[in-house]
């Protein structure tokens, strides 16, 4: 067990002396968990092998999974990318700082442990003020995967980070619940056609507004094993709570009728059942006599609350949780990508 330094910070009134404590840990090859606008990240020096190894140790993650390099200034992209093409420059101008990770050809000195042995590197400039100040003050390029133990939902709240990672890292900065709630959109700019490898808050249509051509990797919403995911992180089980998640997609009957029937068919009376619901539907699900978790008023709120709610299912010892399918091609693509993984691709039609 490490003796973890934990500090609470408010994004609007950050004390630079506090930031310096954690910047020094990064400079001295330690690990620091910090908030970003997407999820909490566990960071260490991306260009130092010994530091990067500590991330894998803390997460218990397989070491062939490449990490995202976080920068505090746009021009640091040239420290690690061999070249930045015109289209990528447009993306950087439009979306950085923000929840977009760009994959480019790497420079020689970026170690294999950070890139998972690939000749490309994933780079992102977070928008959160605490993250930005920490990156600038340390002047370190920071590899930072989500701050969860491998295979568990990404943490978006201080309680989740501390309960899961206290003692596993050198420092933890906690703030509030993360604004976006889902990890950054990942786009590979080294392919012939720019390809979204992980959907997020920056959607296909956001990217189409500035790039002529962009596609979504077909592996994103499918389970098929033979589709080799281009983002190696996607091949591991991810986001799994202990509860069994079952997604219900509207077809003939109403979703609540389908859930009602499913609940009636559960023979084991000791099973703890929950329903995840948008705010407008809370009442009709409450009538089904199970715990109902509010995902929020709109899809942005669903994204923000999703991992937090998966964590709450576990905290409440839920065995089975039903959740409606979120249709549409905006942020719902990212929500469904995470939900499908959390459910082991269990989708029933109503
Ligand atoms: O929002 C985020 O991006 C968060 C916060 C902390 O910044 N970080 C995060 O990192 O989600 P991580 O390590 O959990 O996810 C990295 C993703 C994985 O899906 C990985 O496979 C992909 O990025 N990736 C990284 N480098 C890559 C590369 N060179 N080529 C293809 N995919 C890459
Ligand atoms: Mg992750």
Distance from the CA of 326 to the center of ligand 1, in angstroms? 24
Taking the CA of residue 183 as centre, how many other CA atoms within 13 Å lie in the half-sphere pointing to its CB? 24
pLDDT for residue 233 = 53
Q: Could you give phi then psi for residue 300, rounded to 5 degrees?
A: -60, -40
**Confidence grade of residue 228 (pLDDT, cut at 50, 70, 90):** very low
Shortest-distance Cα residue to atom 3 of ligand 1: 184
Q: Could you give phi then psi for residue 54, rounded to 5 degrees?
A: -65, -30
First to last CA, the chain: 48
pLDDT (tens digit, 9 = 90+) per residue, 163-219?
999 999 999 999 999 999 999 999 999 999 999 999 999 999 999 999 999 999 987
Q: Could you give phi then psi for residue 272, rounded to 5 degrees?
A: -95, 120
Distance from the CA of 37 to the center of ligand 1, in angstroms? 15
Shortest-distance Cα residue to atom 15 of ligand 1: 145
pLDDT (tens digit, 9 = 90+) per residue, 120-156?
999 999 999 999 999 999 999 999 999 998 888 899 9
Ligand 1 pocket member 337 (CB < 6 A): no
| Of 41, 77, 106, 122, best ligand 1 pocket probe by most atoms within 8 Å of the beta carbon | 122
pLDDT (tens digit, 9 = 90+) per residue, 74-109?
999 999 999 999 999 999 999 999 999 999 999 999
Ligand 1 pocket member 115 (CB < 6 A): yes
Tokens of 251: 């077809």
Contact 188, 167 (CB under 8 A): no
Residues with CB under 5 A from ligand 2 (ion): 146
pLDDT (tens digit, 9 = 90+) per residue, 34-79?
999 999 999 999 999 999 999 999 998 777 789 999 999 999 999 9
**Confidence grade of residue 240 (pLDDT, cut at 50, 70, 90):** confident
Ligand 1 pocket member 187 (CB < 6 A): no
């Amino acid at each position: 067990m490490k003796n973890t330094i934990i500090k609470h910070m408010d994004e609007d009134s950050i004390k630079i002396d506090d930031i310096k404590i954690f910047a020094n840990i990064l400079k001295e090859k330690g690990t620091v968990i910090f908030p970003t606008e997407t999820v909490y990240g566990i960071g260490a020096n991306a260009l130092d092998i010994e530091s990067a190894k500590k991330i894998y140790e803390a997460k218990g993650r397989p070491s062939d999974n490449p990490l995202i390099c976080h920068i505090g200034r746009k021009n640091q992209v040239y420290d690690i990318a061999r070249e930045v093409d015109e289209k990528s420059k447009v993306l950087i101008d439009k979306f950085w700082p923000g929840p977009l990770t760009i994959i480019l050809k790497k420079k020689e000195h970026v170690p294999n442990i950070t890139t998972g042995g690939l000749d490309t590197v994933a780079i992102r400039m977070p928008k959160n003020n605490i993250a930005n100040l920490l990156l600038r003050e340390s002047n370190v390029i920071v590899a930072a995967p989500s701050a969860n133990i491998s295979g568990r939902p990404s943490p978006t709240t201080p309680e989740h980070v501390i309960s899961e990672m206290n003692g596993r890292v050198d420092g933890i900065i906690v703030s509030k619940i993360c604004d976006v709630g889902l990890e950054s959109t990942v786009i590979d700019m080294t392919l012939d056609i720019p390809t979204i490898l992980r959907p997020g808050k920056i959607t296909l249509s956001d990217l189409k507004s500035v790039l002529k051509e962009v596609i979504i990797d077909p592996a994103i919403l499918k389970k098929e094993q033979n589709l080799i995911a281009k983002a190696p992180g996607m091949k591991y089980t991810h986001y799994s709570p202990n509860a069994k998640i079952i997604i219900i997609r509207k077809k003939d009957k109403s979703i609540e009728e389908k859930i009602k029937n499913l609940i009636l068919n559960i023979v084991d009376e000791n099973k703890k059942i929950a329903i995840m619901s948008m705010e407008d539907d809370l009442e009709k699900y409450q009538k089904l006599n199970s715990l109902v978790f509010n995902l929020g008023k709109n899809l942005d709120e669903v994204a923000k609350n999703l991992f937090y709610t998966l964590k709450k299912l576990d905290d409440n010892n839920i065995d089975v949780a039903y959740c409606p399918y979120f249709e549409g091609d905006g942020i719902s693509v990212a929500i469904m990508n995470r939900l499908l993984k959390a459910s082991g691709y269990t989708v029933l039609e109503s």
